[in-house]
Structure 1
Amino acid sequence: MESASDAELVGMVLDGQTGRYEVLVRRYQDTMYRHAFGMVGDADAAADLVQDSLVKAYTRLGTCDPDRFAAWLFRILRNRCKDWLKSRRRRDVSLTDQDVAAPGSADPLRALEAGEAGRVIVEALGRLPEGQREAFLMKHVEGRSYEEMAGMLGAGVSALKMRVMRAREALQAMLGDQV
């Protein structure tokens, strides 16, 4: 069942095979965590937001277009992250010792933070406008294509290329020779 498409799995879950939802969870959980952590900058909050989003997606699965499950799921996650940021009134990513992963971490963004240069980069990412930060992380940390990003974010490919380019320019201006 691991090779079944998202649409097939959604159909199975809706037909009463609720255990198939676990396949979807395993398929997206790590990517969702990286995405949430990139948006909120807090490891515990990111894990909670992913869990909340997966539960909400399960309870609302009947409203989903099965052919666009991933885009729908990430829209739920993005909205949860935005709500969390609003409630915390935070725009910057704050780092504490417990948020920083050890070198060799399986999570590329957290591994990046482990060094001093990584901390500077992550802090600079936190100062980017949300749309630029999100596009930059999806492209350069998650390794997504612009087409995938467009489907998940509901934006055009050219708009996403522009956001990534502006994020790069802003990061270069902020970081200069620091890295």
Structure 2
Amino acid sequence: MTNEHFSQLVKQYEKLVFTICSQMVRDFQEAQNLSQETFLSAYRSIDSCPSDQYKPWLCRIASNKAKDYLKSAYARRVAIPGEETLDAIPSHASPEDLYIEGESESRAQRIVRNLQEPYQKVSVLYFLEEKSVEEIAEALKRPKKTVQTQLYRAKAMLREQLGKELSQ
């Protein structure tokens, strides 16, 4: 195959190869690198592929490159304190989604901490510290039924507050 024919092949399938890599690794720069590696590998062994099978052949190379990347030590690196590991980030989440999720969590925490007593203590223990009703009743020395009632009222207050903030 001539260089000109290979260039046409690259132009024809570059978006497909990039899309495959991008969807698998969820990193724009790495997807670009993997796309280049895909075409480099394809160029080196283009003679081994029948001319009517270029598309599935390139797709296979791209997916294998992405799988190799995901298995690599770089992708599994140990996190520096304060830095999330790749496994901790959901693969479907975009940076914008992660930011919005973090903002929503901090807003919800702020609203919980600003509730009036007795609802604030119960809510902090239940929503933020994830204690059970029984644990909260024991910690606050209150009857279980009282804690349940306070949680019910706190949830209504939280719904109202969150509704107000979302409508702004």
Structure scoring higher RCO (CA < 8 A, sep ≥ 6) equals 1
Q: Answer with 1 or 2: which has the greater Rg.
A: 2
TM-score w.r.t. structure 2 length?
Answer: 0.46
